[in-house]
Structure 1
Amino acid sequence: MRSTARFLLTAVCAVTLGTAVPVPPASAATPASAPAGASVPADDGAAVTGEEQLDERTYDLTVSSPALGRSVKVRVLVPHGWSRDAARTWPVVYAYHGGRDSYVSWTRSTDIEEVSARYDVMVVMPECADGAFTDWWNYGRGGTPKWETFHTQEVLQLMERNYRAGTARAAMGISSGATGATTYAARHPGMFRYAAASSGVQHMTRPGVPTTVLFTQAFFTDTDDPLRVWGIPGIDDANWRAHDPYELAANLRGTGLYVSSGTTGLPGEYDDPAPGQRFLVQPQEVVAGVTTVDLVGRLRTLGIPVTAHIYADGWHDWATWQPEMHRYWPLMMDALGVTAG
């Protein structure tokens, strides 16, 4: 099926898109973990089956997920003074990575450990794989993988029932994880007090964008059949709209928002292009920029406050995203009621 989907998408995308730029390969998974102390399952039976403490603040959990039909990892940064037996709970930031990456990416590619250490807050970094932050359509049949269920039900319940995570929550993400942060906030009003999104596709149903998304999934991710994710454009449009932050923008009222993206796809001030790459354009950032501008315009038309940083040059990479995290982190902490220690 994947070869057929690739053939069809190549025929369409050759006309509309040109050549896409691949993203970095995913990181290797961590070794098998030791038995977990956590014991209370999620409503659907999801459970923490392993726990490995990497240092004073960092834990890697193995979660057996009915929503995904397999076990995956979740990395957790706990604040100083945290205890699983504490009488109190802690505010939580749920941090989502992008495609072809893994749950280790935020600690591998940013200084989030140092930044979060100054605040009395937990950071939860679940595996997202190439899951596209949705329960897959599967040609209308539903079934696994259910990434939205995993992130918004299983992970939240396991953290709150076993690790003293509170209900003061924020979501942040880059690339597809940025789409996930705004989509989840819009599809689950009140779940997150704040959502921060860097370089995400924020208008999924904009003309040409579904083709772009399908092309990227078919050729630059491990998605076996991209039409399984949201369905066939033109036929399953209702499902695409149901996961489009632009279409769901009214639901974001009351949620603090930060969105950012470049618009040219050219390297920016934080990038270090190799000789000959100074004028290399990354199309995925161009698409993120156009759709982020769309979302900002929609939010402002609706009278919904948003902090937007729309810049020109800047590649679709961690060198650009770390400074963005430094810009929105204090705003996110304010929304959670957390001050620096």
Structure 2
Amino acid sequence: MPHHFTGASRRTVTKAAVAAGLTALFGARAVTARAATRLGPRTLDVSVSSAALGRSAPVRLILPSGFDARAGRTYPVLYLLHGAHDDYTSWTRETDIEAFTEGRDLIVAMPDAGSTGIPTAWRAGPDYETFQVEEVPALLARSYRASGVRAVAGVSTGGYGAMAHAARHPATFAAAASYSGILDTTAPGVPPILDAIVAREKLPPLSLWGNPVLNPLTWRDHNPRARAAGLRGTGLYVSSGSGVAGGSGDWLPETLESALWPSAHRFTDTLALLGIPVTTHYYAGGGHSWAYWKREFTASWPMLARALGVPE
């Protein structure tokens, strides 16, 4: 992918204050890094011991250039979320995010969301929302000098996560971007898609949020469209393709993209009714694949960069 995508006592007191603040904020949810594996000069995988998940889970980090040489500096964080049936390595595998962020003063964090890629508090299962929104940021603040400035972006179910995290935790993220995300989880045809994702990973039926008919409040509470008011003041970018209509004949990814098209429109229509600004890119054709998501990341980058306070 092209690159256009493309003193001492004072420091001690500050560190102590940060640690105390994290303990007060997260209490028993304070997490530790069990191990860190260097993959390159700036890239490493961290194994995080998570109370929310009841196990250790990986996070891939890309640190700023010159991170080790500037011990007193803090950095904003861009969280990149993966999609269904993928993992935390997808952004470095499918894009040139490492080269793209060279020379930009930010941390890129790519947390695990399990095999389904649905980063939520499961009704019968782990709490990936707490892991991503509370535990990982606490670890980054404590061990990697992350500041409180954050933006989040994701593909597919990760696009759901980006908007759900930002909506359910107002003012936590300065910006959120979704590329082919699931943005109205109760829109016609969407619950069966989520059921299929869960079933493909051989997880128990209804383990996500229960039955959408019998447990409507749970589904609503985790629906980005229903929680859209929480996005006021957040920089927003939403893109989605029409899929089969105008597509190239790649049936499966284009059909899935078509199925999510109305859901995305319902979400951004709700934002319009609420008077919440959002940049949208709805395009003819397209598929549910990285070929389109890389392009959309490029288009959304100026908005994300402004929110993070880094060069475009």
Tell me the TM-score normalized by structure 2. Answer: 0.87
**Superposition misfits of 4+ residues, deviation over 6 angstroms:** 39-42
Higher helix proportion, which one?
2
Over the residues paired in the alignment, what is the CA RMSD in angstroms? 2.1
Q: Output one character per residue of 1:99-118: Cα deviation in whole Å (capped at 9) or x when no partner.
A: 11111100000111122114
Task: Determine whether 1:61 maps to 2:46.
Answer: yes
1:228 is paired with a residue whose SS is: coil
Task: Determine whether 1:335 maps to 2:302.
Answer: no
Q: CA deviation at 1:338?
A: 1.1
| Of 129, 133, 142, the match for 2:119 | 133
Distance 1:278 1:128, change over 3 A: closer
Q: Which amino acid letter does the alignment assign opposite residue 111 of structure 1?
A: D
Could you tell me how far apart the structure 2 residues matched to 1:157 and 1:234 are?
36
What percentage of aligned pairs have identical amino acids?
42
Distance 1:194 1:56, change over 3 A: same
Q: Gaps spanning 5+ residues in structure 1: where?
A: 1-38, 139-143
| Of 121, 131, 136, the match for 1:150 | 131
Q: Output one character per residue of 1:90-138: Cα deviation in whole Å (capped at 9) or x when no partner.
A: 0110110001111110000011112211421110001112252111112
- The alignment of Structure 1 onto Structure 2 pairs a total of residues equal to 288
Q: Does the 8 A contact of 1:266 with 1:315 survive in 2? A: no
Q: Gaps spanning 5+ residues in structure 2: where?
A: 1-18
Distance 1:280 1:209, change over 3 A: closer
Q: CA deviation at 1:279?
A: 5.7
Task: Determine whether 1:171 maps to 2:143.
Answer: no
Q: CA deviation at 1:278?
A: 4.9
Distance 1:73 1:302, change over 3 A: same
| Of 262, 265, 268, the match for 1:290 | 262
Could you tell me how far apart the structure 2 residues matched to 1:125 and 1:84 are?
23
Distance 1:103 1:267, change over 3 A: farther
Task: Determine whether 1:100 maps to 2:118.
Answer: no
Q: Output one character per residue of 1:179-235: Cα deviation in whole Å (capped at 9) or x when no partner.
A: 0000000000011000010001111112332223213321x3x15113011111111
Q: Output one character per residue of 1:51-73: Cα deviation in whole Å (capped at 9) or x when no partner.
A: 11111110110111121111111
Tell me the TM-score normalized by structure 1. Answer: 0.80
Alignment partner, residue 309 of structure 1:
281
